[in-house]
Amino acid sequence: MNKRIRNRLLYGTAVVMAAAAVTYACKDFLDQPAQGTVDEQTLATKAGVEGTLIAAYRSLDCSSSSAGSWGCAASNWVWGSVTSDDAYKGSNLGDQQPINDIETYYWSVGIADDYINQKWSQVYDGVARANATLRLLTKVRLEKPGEISNADAARIRGEALFLRAHYHFEAYRMWGKVPYYYETDTDFRKANDLSADSVAKLVIADLDTAITLLPAVQGDKGRANAWTARAYKGRVQVYRGDYAGALVTLRNVQTAGPYALETSFDRVWTGFTTLRNGPETILAFQASVRDGEPSGWNSNWGERLNFPHSGSYFGCCGFHQPAFNLVNFYQVDAAGLPVAMTSSAWNTPVPDSNFAGGMIRPVDPRLDWTVGRDNVPYKDWGLHNRGWIRDASYSGPYSPKKNVHERGCAAPCTSAAENNVGWQASQTNDVNIHIFRYADMLLLLAEAEVEAGVLENARAIVNQIRERAGQVAQGCGFGSGGSVDSALVANYPSCADSTSMTVALVQNPTLDSVSTPWAQYRIGLYPGPWTVQATARQAVRYERRLELAMEGQRFFDLRRWGAADSTITNYLASERVRIPYLALAAPYTARYRYYPIPTVQIELSRVGTTDRLCQNQGWGGTPCP
C-alpha cells in the first residue's frame, strides 16, 4: 500500500471517527425520556399519595380503562338484580346478549364468561389501586418523614384499607373463594386456596384496622370514615352469617353513628345536588358530569343503559327492566302491609297484566319511586308510556327509575344532573350510585336482631323504614313538555295546577291531590308485637326487597339466605308465562351459589401447566376442593 493511499485512508477514517466522536460526545444522545408521563418519584409527595388514593376510589364504578361492558357497574345490576326476581335484562333480545345468558343461568357460555371477567377485573383493579396507595404511602413516610402528618398518614392508610376490604368483599360475594391481595404481594398468580369464609375474615381484619385508623368525620363526602368501616364490617358479618357479631357492630352504628334515614324515599336516589350525600349515604359512587371529561366517563357509567328507550326523553336503551314479579310484590292489603305477608296469591296474574297507572289497586308508594309504569308520571318527566319501552313483548312494560335523574325544572330546560357530552348525554347523569346505604344497614341489623330473637327491635327498624316510605308518593311533576305534558294533564286534570314531583301522603294514604289518581298508595306499620321468629324473618326480608329493589342487592341476599333455590325456581315458574324467554332458563341448582371464576383469569393464573386458580364447584375446569 503506497503512502498516498494510506494517507487517504487515514484521513477518511479520521473523518468518520470525528463524526462518530461528535455524536458520542453528546453522551445523553441516547437518553430520551418517556413523554407525557411522570415517574414514581414525582408522586412521592403528599399530593401524589392523595391522588393515588383518589384513583382507588374511582374504581367503585366503571372507568375508561375498565369498561368493556357493563359488568363493572357499581350497582351490580347485572349480578345482583337481573339474576334475581327483581328485574329482567330488558331492552330487546339482540342487545347485550351476554346478560341474557347470565339472566337465564348459562354462566359458562363464552360470552357470559367475558362479562363475568369485567367484574373480576374491575374489583381487582380497585384492590391494586388501594395497594398502590399503601405502598406509596410507606415509601413517602420512609423517604420524607415530614411530608405527611401522622394523622393524614393514618387516615390515608385507613381509607386505602377500607377500599381494599370493599373490593375484596365484592369479589367474595361474587365468587366466594377468591385470592386476597396485600400491598406487599408481587406474585399476581396467587392461588384461591382460602375458603370463602376465610376471605370474609380477611375483609373484616382490614376493616378492623381501618376503623382504628380512620377519623370519625371526613371533610369530603365521598371518603370513608370510621363509621363507614364499622357499618361495612357489620355488613360483612351478616354475609358471613355471624349475626351475633353483626348485632354488636351494627347496634353501635345505629346508636352512636352519624347516619339517619332520609326524610322521604324520593330523596334517596336523586340527581338534586342539595340532596346528595344526605344522612343515609354510607358508601356511594360519587358520579359527576360536566367535569371536563369528554366522554362522560365519570357519570353513572355503569347505569347508562338503564333508561327508557327511544320514545322517551332519554333515548336509550331500555335495560334493567323491573319484573312483573317485583311490581306485584308492591301490592298491599287494607292495612298497607304487603299482600305477600298474608296471601300466597300476591303473584298470581292480575287482570291487567301491565299494571298501568289508573288501575286502583293499593300499592306501596315505593313502587312508583322504583318502577316506571305506563300512565304514571316518571319522576318529573311526564307520563311514562308504552312508546318508551324498547320491546314490551320481550321484557314487559316497566322501566327502571331509581337511577334516573329529575329534570327539576319545566321543559325545555335541561337537568343540571345531566351530561352534555358523549354517546347519549341524556342518559348519563350524576346520580350517586348507592353501594351501601343506611336503610340497607338497618335491615341487616334487623336480620341480626331476628336471629338473636330480639324481634321487637327488628319490628322497630322495619316500621322506621316503612314510616319513611310513607312520607311522600310520586306527584305530577313538570312533564317533559309538548304533547307529553298535555297527555299528563289530559289524563290527570289536576296536574295542570300541580307541578310538584312529590305528593304528601297524609292521613288517608291515597293520592288525594289529584282528582283521578294513577294509584292508590297505602303503607302501614306492622302492629306489634312480633312473636314468631319465622314471621319476623319473612317480614324483614320482604321489607328488604321492597326497600332495596333494583339496587343490585337482591340476588346476593337470596344466596346468603340460602333461599335462592326455591325463590328463583318459583320465580321462573311463574314468570315464564309473562316473559317467554325465561322458559329457556337452566334449572336453578346448587352451583349457582357462586359465579364461576372467569375462565380467562384461571388461564392467566397458569404457572407452567398448573392453574393457580381453581374453579367453583359445578363450573367445570379443575374444581376447588
Partner 1 sequence: MKEAEGFMNQKIIRVGAALGIGLLFALTLSTTAVAQETQVSGTVTATSGEPLSGVTVQVRGTGSRTVTDANGKYSLTAPPDGVLLFALIGYKGAARTIAGRTTIDVGLEPAVAVLEPVIVTGYTSQRRADITGAVSSVNVESATQQTSTSVLQRLDGRVPGVQVENSGSPGSRTTVRIRGVSSFQNNDPLLIVDGTPVQDTYLNWLNPNEIGSVQVLKDASAASIYGSRASNGVIIIETKRGRAGQRQLSLDVRTGFATPVRGYDDILILDALDYFQVMKVATENAGLAVKRNIYGDPNNPSVPDYIWPNDGVNQSCTLSRPTCSGLRVDSASYAVTADGTRLIMPGSPGTNWWKAVFGTGQIRDANLAISGGGEDNAYHVSFNYLDQEGTAAFTRFQRGGVRVNTTFHVNKVTIGENIALSRDRSYGGLDDGALGEGNIVGKNIFQQPVVPIYDINGYYASGKAVGLSNLTNPLKIADAGQFNIATNDRIFGNIFGSLDAGRSVVLNSRLGFNLGQGSFHGFTATTPENSEVTAVDGINENYSLFTVWTWSNTLTFTRAMNQHNLNVLLGQAASQGTSRFEAGSCAGLLNTDVDSRYIQDALCDPTTKNVTSSGGKSALLSLFGKADYNYGERYYLNFTLRRDGSSRFGPTNRWGTFPAIGMGWRLSRESFLRNSTLFSNAMLRFGWGITGNEQIPSGRIVSQFGGDRGDTFYDIGGTSTTIRPGFKTTAIGNPNLKWEENRSVNVGVDLEFKEGRGTFSVDVYRRNTNNLLFDPRTPATAGSAAPPIINIGKMTNNGFDFSVGYRGQLGAVTQYSVNFNGSHYKNEIVEIDGVATFFFGPGIIRDQNPIINQVGAPIGSFYGLVANGYYRDSADAAPFFADGARPGRIKFVDQPTVLDTIACPAAPGCVGLYRPDGSITGADRAVIGSPHPDFVAGLDLSVRHGNWDFSATLFGTFGNEIFNTQKYWDVFRYFDTNVRKDRLANSWTPTNQDAKYPKLDASDTWSRQFSSYWVEDGSYVRLRTLQIGYSLPPAMIRWIPVARVYLQAENLFTITGYSGLDPSLPAASVFGAAGDIRDQFRGVDQGTYPSNKTITIGISTTF
Residues in region 561-590 near partner 1 by CB under 8 A: 580-581, 583-584, 586-587, 589
167 binds partner 1 per the rule CB under 8 A: no
Question: Which residue(s) pair with 283 in the sheet?
Answer: 436
> Exactly one of 164, 309, 402, 559 binds partner 1 (CB under 8 A); which one?
309
In angstroms, what is the minimal distance from the CB of 122 to partner 1? 8
Cα distance between residue 320 and residue 89, in whole Å: 5
User: Is the distance from CB of 612 to CB of 605 less than 8 angstroms?
Assistant: yes
**Does 289 participate in binding partner 1 (rule CB under 8 A)?**
yes
* Shortest spacing between CB 281 and partner 1, in angstroms: 8
Nearer residue to partner 1 within complex by CB, 485 or 557: 485
Q: At residue 468, what are phi and psi to the nearest 5 degrees?
A: -60, -40
| Binding status of residue 425 toward partner 1 by CB under 8 A | yes
Helix axes 438-451, 243-256, angle to 10 degrees: 130
Per rule CB under 8 A, is residue 313 in the interface with partner 1?
Answer: yes
Burial class (CB in 10 A: 0-12, 13-18, 19+), 135: middle
Three cell numbers written together for 590: 346448587
Among 241, 258, 358, 422, binds partner 1 (CB under 8 A): 422
| Of the candidate residues 261, 275, 417, 441, the single one contacting partner 1 (CB under 8 A) | 417
Task: By CB under 8 A, name the one of 149, 244, 387, 409 that touches partner 1.
Answer: 387
| 3-class DSSP assignment, residue 355 | coil
Nearer to partner 1 by Cβ, of 510 and 569: the residue is: 569
CB of 339 to partner 1, least distance (A): 29
Q: Is 144 in the site for partner 1 (CB under 8 A)?
A: no
Backbone angles phi, psi at 474, to 5 degrees: -60, 130
Mention every residue, 6+ apart, whose C-beta is less than 8 A from residue 37: none
Q: Which of residues 184-223 bind partner 1 (CB under 8 A)?
A: 188-190, 220-223
Decide if residue 113 touches partner 1 (CB under 8 A): yes
- Per CB under 8 A, contacts with partner 1 among 592-621 are 596, 598-609, 619-621
Q: How far is the CB of 419 from partner 1 (least distance, A)?
A: 9
Nearer to partner 1, 237 or 432 (CB): 432
Distance CA 580, CA 310 (A): 24
- Segment near partner 1 (CB under 8 A); pick from 289-297, 445-453, 486-494, 548-556: 289-297
* Residue 393, helix vs strand vs coil: helix
Please name the residues in contact with 358: beta carbons below 8 A apart, sequence gap of 6 or more: 375, 491, 516, 517, 518
Give, as ranges, the residues between 41 and 100 that touch partner 1 (CB under 8 A): 42-43, 48, 50-58, 63-66, 68-69, 92-95, 97-98, 100
List 195, 393, 515, 566, residue binding partner 1 (CB under 8 A): 393
Size of the site for partner 1 (CB under 8 A): 147
Nearer CB in complex with partner 1: 21/532: 21
Is the bond into 317 cis (omega within 30 degrees of 0)? yes
Are the beta carbons of 365 and 265 closer than 8 angstroms? yes
Q: What are phi and psi of 61, to 5 degrees?
A: -130, 170
Closest-CA residue to 59 (of 133, 129, 140, 159): 129
